[in-house]
Structure formats: structure tokens, C-alpha cells
Structure 1
Amino acid sequence: MEACVLIFDCGATNLRVVAMAPDGNIKASHSFPNATADDPFFKGGKIWSLEIIWDKLCAASKAVVDQLKDVEIIGVSVTTFGVDGTLVDFEGNLKYPVISWQCNRTHPILKSLDKYIDLYELYEKTGVYPYDFNTIFKLLWFKENHPETLKDSRFLFMPSLLVNLLSGVQVNDATMLGTAMIANLSTQEVSIPLLEKLGIPAALFGTPAQAGEVVGTVTKKASEASGIPVGVPVCLSGHDTQFAVFGSGAGLDEPVLSSGTWEILMCRSKKYSATAQQLDLGITTEFDAEKNMYDLGVNYVASGLLEWVGNHFFQDVPKKQRYQIMVEEAEQVPPGANGVAVDPNFYDPTNDAGGAISGIKLATSRGEIYRASLEALALTLKNALHVLEKAADFKARKIICVGGGSKNSLWNQIKADVCGIPIQLIAQKETTVLGSALFTFTGVGYYKNLKEARSSIDYQPYLVEPSVNKNTYQQLFENKE
């Protein structure tokens, strides 16, 4: 029988289960929308309902399994957004809901961090940029507000919560650990001295395993819920960005832009540095999907801003047609959006003022606002690239763009024009799922190693070259870089 693996892909806006063949072709997929819920225990708090997410993923899994004829499922894995997770007891029962990265309850924790540790010292140890939603700040919030939850507990990141539901096994993966701001950069392990200094039990995280490791098999209970046969191996994946970068086919020092709710510009490296200068530049360093490698990157909200524009200015357009109409209207607007400008800092922990839209007139159209948003995000990308080139000591000749944002042809062209270098697209659009699938195929023994797994993929790369608008954007943005 033909083989495939199932990837549970839990994103901030969509929940999907994808069946992928060894050559990267999708055999079947099914999805449902995802959204945060209100925290019943904290007014104004935002959480992820693990029960709802699990039920939707299981429904999607059953729909996918029903489509697979003469195809054997040889492995299953889970990939999600970074940082988020929660405390569970040793049977896997949640002690508190999963606090979403979209919740601002930990903002005061970051503001008062110096009562625990100096910010620069923390960054030097962990390399992770201090966003207020980082796992470490959630742990400190638990310590200050629900200290009882830290006793006789295990902290499981979101992928591991789902792995636990699939297999009954409680184990974290290294890629999620690398987003948490609690791990030692050099050893890529939990920093016990750091957690002891913060008064947080180091045993909470257990011993994380590497991506691709088989940690269990699908239980009878999970099989009944998901439709996956009992005994199918369950492999670790983890943070979606790391698998998008690997799935893109990028080599060392080749910048990859994972474009989604957040845009994350990263390059894979065998070296790292976490200095005060890099912190001031906004560099985050995470663990690559491959052991003993690092992903240096810059993060910022991207499609999250574009979704906000769509929800507020294109409400009359049905959601299925909204994306197309937004692009079509913006294509009629010249570079510079007729003077409309957007400050895209809708999420910046150092800027309480937030973003802004300026240059609006009575005749301003929603297409101008959308195009101005695309241009502002492209300038953010250009500035991020300069920072990354400086930190990793390389010069980019192209940017590999993957993720949902790579499907926006207008945005791709604006990025190429603003950055002044080609944007490389690939035939494989689902690089997060692909990267996770390649690790899973290798983990269950279908491929001998990751090199062989990735060599089986026909990426069919093609370039979006800068157009004549390149010079126009250089003039428009010369004082904004």
C-alpha cells in the first residue's frame, strides 16, 4: 500500500489535519476555524480551549482518514504556534486553561521582570526576544497568581498536550523549548539554574526530546476519537516556524520568511550570539528543528494586521471572496497608496501606543488602506533583513517566502520591490506540514535520514524579481529605514 503520515496542524486561525505522501504531495486534508475563548477564571483573559481544539482536530482527522483509500498511515505528528502550553497533573488533566499568546495578562510581569532577573542577563542566557507572552512570563504569572498549580505538575507545550491526547505520553519537544525563554542556548536544554533563580520547579519540563522521535503510539481512545488506527507511531514535531523553515529547503544563511499571522524572518545557522546589541536589534534565537543548530530571526505581526483591515473595511464582502477583492482593489492603487501610510506596530511590547493609519482624506478608499498596509509590512521586512544580515554576518541574495502570505502575488511583488532583491517562491505551499512530515517519515524509518527525506521533494523554485517600482519605493521609504 502507498504510505502517508498525518500532521495535526494547530494554527491561530485554522485547525487542519493533512495526509502527506513521501514526495510531499497532499493526499487529503480537512480544516476548521480556530479562535481564542474568554478565560472563565480571569476577566479579560484569552485562552485556547484544548477540548474544542481536540474535538475539531479529531473531526478533521476522521474526514481525512475517510478519504484515504489503499493508503497506509505510518505515522502522525503535531505542529503548532510557539510559546503556549499549560500545567497538567501526571494523568494529563489541565490545572489551568492554555493561556493564549494573544492575552495581555503577562504584560505587567515583563514590566517588573527586574525583581526576578535583569532583562539583558535573561536574554544572554536564552537568546529569545522578550515578548510578554513568552512561556517564562506565564510561569511567573502562575507563580504570582496560582502558585498551587506549580506543585506536582508537568508543563506541556501545546503540541505535547495534543501528543498526550493521541498517545497518553507526556513529553515536550526541543523546538518548543527553544521558544520559551527558559533554555540554555549552548546546551539546548532546560536551564535549571535559571528556573531555580526564578523559583520555578525545573522538573516541570521533564526531559524534552528531539523532533522526529517516536514517543508513543495512538491509543484506543484516541483512535475512536480521530479515526486513526490503534498503534500508529506518534512522532514529535513542535513549533510550526521551525518546520516551515526546514520544509522550505533552505540551507545555511539563506533567509526564509514564514508569512502568516506573524511574519518570521529566519536563517538557519550553526552559530549563535546573544548580546545586548542583538537584543536592542530585536533578534530572537531559537532552536532549529535539527539538533545543535539555531534559527536567528525577527518576528512581527503581519497577516494579523491584514485580517484586521479586512474585518473593518471589507465587511460587505463574503469571506470566501474577501481576499481576492482586497488584492484586486489594491492593485488599482499606485505605489505610495496616494499618501496613505500605515504604522504596522499593532503588537509591540515596547510600544503601548500601538499602530496607526495616517494620510486619510474624504476620498481615501479601502484599497489604498490595504495597499498601504502591504507596503508598510514590506518595509518592516526590509528593515528586519538588514538586522538579520548584521547579526548573522551574511548578505542575502534572495528571500525564500513560505506560508499563507506567499500566496498573495501583489504582496510578493511589493516585497521584492521594497527589499530590492528577488522573492523566491516554491511549488510546495504547505512547508510547515511538509517539514513536520519529513521528520515524521524519517522518525518511523521510511527515510534513512533527513537529507534523503528532503531530497525527495521537487520544490520547483521560481523568483519574483524587483520591478520598475523598485526605484519608486526607494524614494518613498528612504527616510523610514
Structure 2
Amino acid sequence: MSTADRLLAIDVGTQSVRALVFDDMGTLCARAQVPIAPPYHAPQPGHAEQDPAVFWAAVGAACRQLWETQPELAARIAGLALTTQRATSVFVDDAGEPIGPAISWLDQRRAARVPRLPAWWRAIFGALGLASTIDTFQRLSPANWRAAHAPEQHRRTRYALLLSGYLVQRLTGAWRDSVSAQVGYLPFDYKRRQWAGKRDWKWRAIEIAPEQLPELVEPGQPLGTLDAAAARSLGLRDGLPLFSAGADKACEVLGSGAVTPDTACVSLGTTATINTCRDAYREVTRFVPAYPAAMPGAFTDEIQIYRGFWLVSWFKQEFAVDTVDAAAREQRAAEALLDERIAPIAPGSDGLLVLPTWSPGVRIPGPEARGAMVGFTDTHSRAHVYRAILEALAYALREGRERIEKRTKTPITRLRVSGGGSQSDQAMQILADVFDLPAERSHTHETSGLGAAINAAVGLGWHADHRAAARAMVHAGTRFEPRPEAVATYERFYTEVFATLYGELKPAFDRIQSITDPDAGART
């Protein structure tokens, strides 16, 4: 009989599900990918939802693909771990069946009515200047939207889950989820890494009861074992242990080896982020929580550019379909062809700048957020636009670095870069130049999956703890050094233009919002 010496990581992203097999040294031994197309449905403007069964079917299909090409591999799986997109909500009934579609993290619907907080809480939040932030938090909560707009479905809800919790139940039959997956509009205490205490204001702000939430399990601990039905669906033997890991960004930080405060994980994914990891809880942006890391007792200081590398997908879809088609004919990645097109363009894109605040945040940027492109001349081509997008994301991530360093008093001296965008040499070089730091790829771009696999390895006792596992399983890949002339150019564009651009355009964004959404002021 084969030795059980492999780990299975299931990575449920926004656009695809990947089944990944790693060994105890972090080598990616096998990979299968099933697209989720379309990634979501928008029955109304601003809505983004998906049938939960689509995710479950894709998990099974991706796993079965692995065994079709390597039939002996299934018997070598010793344990598995799951990582998923963050903040996608699934509501189920007493039988565990979804009530309506999953509400994606990309969803922008807002509840017309929300629970009214007690007067003393309103007074406190008002004094702290948080009234608008709390109102946004409440109105973007999927549970509050359902209570206001789908009350019958809301009354039937037995469990209010994130996508990770829904999939854990499908895999094991248990109502459990990872501590490190709890990122969203939930009554969660980030500092204590547990559901909020009974007197916490979040229970009054969100239409969720304590008994509707799953049991939380720390990363590296068992969530349960594969039941017979799930094992058949995945093509594995039942009884295999499923270990708690975390949401995709948390696993990405761990899988890139960014486990000390001086090392930043830059993720060039659908949402671009910069994270550092530390043992102390600290809010980099005031009143915006630090998230639980994918290892016990640790937290990630995260700054995100919402829909960051989604801008690249948007550009390809709207302006570069011919390039995408040409790349497909040549059996190359579209990004590789785009890299060639922008390589001759000098740093700074001949004065074209993009402001990548295309979607509002809870606090920064505010609800008025809009994107912008400034500096157009008749010399600019679509290649300039593409390069300017990459530069803008690097500027925004550098701004995040500065906020983290200012708040934590810890200089960032090392960049580990992950996510799909890290496969672009041009994006990597731009990051190195804008940050004036060497930018290193990890040895695999499947860093979220590797972070999940690290948790399985720790759970199985293959490594002593998460940091020891990261030292053994994460390895440096290609390194891009900053170029002095490019550094000097980007320094001027960043400090003299980009750093002040949002503040200068915000009054215009406010006026645009007052015209396009005249009720926005009343909601805050």
C-alpha cells in the first residue's frame, strides 16, 4: 500500500477552484483547476451572487481531475486543508440546504433598514467620528440585507455561514469553521479570535444570533474527518482529517513566508493587499481590525486595494481582447504578451497616472470613492494605460506600507510577492522600483494553497509549529532588484502627485455622488 506522504490543499477562489498536492517540503506535486464561470451573477446592479452548489461541484471536479492523471496519488493523501475567498456568505436551513444564493464578497447591495443601536452606542460612535463607518458596516451586512429585503428567507435561516463554513460542513458534516476565516460583516471579536461577547455592540448591529454561528477552530487543529459522501465526491477515502487553515489572504501570508513583522507579503490578487504578521493585535487603520493570521495567536496588519488586480482583468476585457486572443493562439499567458508591450515604456508611463480607488471601502477610501486616470496626452496608447495601472497598484501598496510602518514602528525590509499578478515580470520590477526594495517571488505562485498545506502539515505533526513549517516549506523564487534611475522617477511621481491625488479629487467625487446617489447623505 502507498505511503500517505502528501497534503491536499483546496483553494476556492473567486474565479476558480484549485486542488493542489504538496509534499512536506512545500513542493507542488500536482495541480488541477476548475473555472467558476461566470464568477458571479448580478440580477440587479451592485449585486454579486452565486449558487453555493457551484463551489461544491467545482471542489469535487478539481480533486477528481488530479486522480485522473495520477490515480495512485489519492492513496498518498494524509490530510487536507481548505482555504476560500473571504466574506462570501451562505445561509442554510435546518437541513443544511442553502436558502438562496451565496452573497459574494464583491456584492455592493445595501440594506434599506438596519437595527437601531441603543442611544449610548450611537452617542459613543458619534463622539468618535464613527457614525458613518458603523452605518456602512450595518448596511453592507448580508444578514441585515436579508432581514430587510428577504424576511421569509431570513426567518428560515438556521446557520449564517461564510463559504468556508459551508464547505467544511459539506466535507465533514460538522458546523465548524476556521478562526482565521472570519473576515466579514459578522459579530466577531478579532482581538480575542472568537465570537463577540454577549454585551458586544455587534449583536445589536447585525441580525445574527449566537446559535446561528459555527464552532470556531484555531489553524492547524482538526475540523473533522471526511464523511463517506464527501469522500466519494472528492475521490478520496473517508476518514481523512480536515485541518483548519484560514481565508485566502491569511493563507497567502503564511504561504509566502511572511511570518515576521519586517517581511511584507504583497498579494497581487483580485483584491491587492500588503500584509505583515505579528503576535500583537494592533489596528493599522483606526477602528479597522487586524485580522487573525493563519496560525494561532498571530495577526495580520492588512491594507487592501479593493478589486486591485481586478483592474487588470477589467483592462483585458475592455481594451485587450485581441491581445488575449493572440496569447491563446500562441498558448501563452496574456500577461506575458502585455509585459512585452509595456517593456519599452519608461517608468512613469510618460506622465499617465491611474488612481485605483474604483470601489469604496468601509473607512479608507470612503463611500464617495471613484477611480481616475489623469495626465492623458495624444502620445499615450493602451499599453501606457496598462503600465499605469500596474504602477498605480504599486503606489497604493507603497502607501499601505507607509501606514503599517508608521503605526507599528517596524520598518519593512523585505517583500515577498504572491498572487496571480506576481507571474508578471513587469509587475514585479515595478514593485521593486516603487518600494526601493528587492521583490521576491515565492517558489510557487500557489501561496494560498501552500499556506493551507502548512496547516495540514502542522496538524499531522510533520513540523513542530507554523513557523518551523514555513521555514521548511517556503522557498525564495526569482528576485527583482530596484533600479536606481527608476526608483528616482517613481519617488517623484509618488510623493509629488499620487500621494495627494485622492485628496485633491475627493471634492469632485463627493459632488458626483450627490448627483448619482442623492440619498447617500441621508444614509450616513
Q: Would you say same fold, with TM above 0.5?
A: yes
Query: Match for 2:237 among 213, 219, 229?
Result: 229
* Aligned equivalents of 1:184, 1:335: Cα separation in 2: 43
* Aligned equivalents of 1:263, 1:131: Cα separation in 2: 25
Query: Match for 1:383 among 376, 399, 405?
Result: 399
Number of equivalenced pairs = 472
- 1:358-397 counterparts in 2 under 5 A? 358-397=374-413
Deviation of the 1:68 alpha carbon:
3.4
Whether the aligned pair in 2 keeps the contact of 1:65 and 1:228 (CA below 8 Å) is: no
* Aligned equivalents of 2:431, 2:339: Cα separation in 1: 14
Aligned equivalent of 1:169: 174
1:258 aligns with 2:261: no
Query: Match for 1:219 among 227, 230, 241?
Result: 227
Amino acid at match of 1:264: T
**Cα distance change on mapping 1:111 and 1:391 into 2, 3 Å:** farther
Secondary structure of 1:238 counterpart:
coil
1:144 aligns with 2:148: yes
Whether the aligned pair in 1 keeps the contact of 2:443 and 2:477 (CA below 8 Å) is: yes
Aligned equivalent of 1:196: 203
* Aligned equivalents of 1:310, 1:418: Cα separation in 2: 24
**Cα distance change on mapping 1:55 and 1:81 into 2, 3 Å:** same
Deviation of the 1:39 alpha carbon:
5.9
Deviation of the 1:236 alpha carbon:
2.1
Aligned equivalent of 1:343: 355
Whether the aligned pair in 2 keeps the contact of 1:378 and 1:418 (CA below 8 Å) is: yes
Amino acid at match of 1:241: K
Aligned equivalent of 2:255: 247
Deviation of the 1:112 alpha carbon:
9.6
* Aligned equivalents of 2:370, 2:489: Cα separation in 1: 28
Whether the aligned pair in 1 keeps the contact of 2:295 and 2:466 (CA below 8 Å) is: no
**Cα distance change on mapping 1:334 and 1:439 into 2, 3 Å:** same
Deviation of the 1:453 alpha carbon:
2.5
Alignment deviations for residues 56-94 of structure 1 (CA, whole Å, 9 cap, x no partner): 221111011233354411112211111112221243111
> What's the TM-score, normalizing by structure 2?
0.82
Query: Match for 2:461 among 413, 435, 445?
Result: 445
* Aligned equivalents of 2:375, 2:90: Cα separation in 1: 44
Deviation of the 1:229 alpha carbon:
1.7
Q: Which moved more, 1:158-167 or 1:64-73?
A: 64-73
**Cα distance change on mapping 1:456 and 1:45 into 2, 3 Å:** same
Deviation of the 1:147 alpha carbon:
3.8
Aligned equivalent of 1:469: 486
- 1:32-431 counterparts in 2 under 5 A? 32-34=34-36, 35-38=38-41, 45-71=47-73, 72-106=76-110, 121=125, 137-148=141-152, 149-150=154-155, 153-191=158-196, 192-193=198-199, 194-198=201-205, 200-253=208-261, 254-274=263-283, 278-279=286-287, 284-300=289-305, 301-317=307-323, 318=325, 320=328, 321=332, 322-349=334-361, 350-352=366-368, 354-431=370-447
* Aligned equivalents of 1:215, 1:415: Cα separation in 2: 38
Q: Which moved more, 1:367-376 or 1:226-235?
A: 226-235
Amino acid at match of 2:204: K
* Aligned equivalents of 1:455, 1:396: Cα separation in 2: 19
**Cα distance change on mapping 1:365 and 1:178 into 2, 3 Å:** closer
**Cα distance change on mapping 1:44 and 1:428 into 2, 3 Å:** closer
Alignment deviations for residues 373-408 of structure 1 (CA, whole Å, 9 cap, x no partner): 111111111111100111222111122212222221
Amino acid at match of 2:349: A
Whether the aligned pair in 1 keeps the contact of 2:138 and 2:144 (CA below 8 Å) is: no
Whether the aligned pair in 2 keeps the contact of 1:101 and 1:133 (CA below 8 Å) is: no
Deviation of the 1:291 alpha carbon:
2.1
Q: Structure 2: where are the runs of 5+ without partners?
A: 500-524
Whether the aligned pair in 2 keeps the contact of 1:19 and 1:29 (CA below 8 Å) is: yes
Deviation of the 1:478 alpha carbon:
2.4
Deviation of the 1:114 alpha carbon:
10
Deviation of the 1:461 alpha carbon:
5.1
* Aligned equivalents of 2:403, 2:273: Cα separation in 1: 13
**Cα distance change on mapping 1:259 and 1:37 into 2, 3 Å:** closer
Whether the aligned pair in 1 keeps the contact of 2:15 and 2:39 (CA below 8 Å) is: no
Aligned equivalent of 2:507: none
Amino acid at match of 1:434: L
Secondary structure of 2:280 counterpart:
coil
Identity of aligned residues (%): 22
* Aligned equivalents of 1:384, 1:411: Cα separation in 2: 17
Whether the aligned pair in 1 keeps the contact of 2:442 and 2:474 (CA below 8 Å) is: no
Secondary structure of 1:466 counterpart:
coil
* Aligned equivalents of 1:412, 1:446: Cα separation in 2: 33
Alignment root-mean-square deviation, CA: 3.0
* Aligned equivalents of 1:120, 1:380: Cα separation in 2: 32
Alignment deviations for residues 188-230 of structure 1 (CA, whole Å, 9 cap, x no partner): 2111323432353122213311122222222222222221222
**Cα distance change on mapping 1:409 and 1:118 into 2, 3 Å:** farther
* Aligned equivalents of 1:384, 1:207: Cα separation in 2: 33
Q: Structure 1: where are the runs of 5+ without partners?
A: none
* Aligned equivalents of 1:110, 1:33: Cα separation in 2: 36
* Aligned equivalents of 2:432, 2:95: Cα separation in 1: 51
* Aligned equivalents of 2:135, 2:34: Cα separation in 1: 28
> What's the TM-score, normalizing by structure 1?
0.89
Whether the aligned pair in 1 keeps the contact of 2:336 and 2:424 (CA below 8 Å) is: no
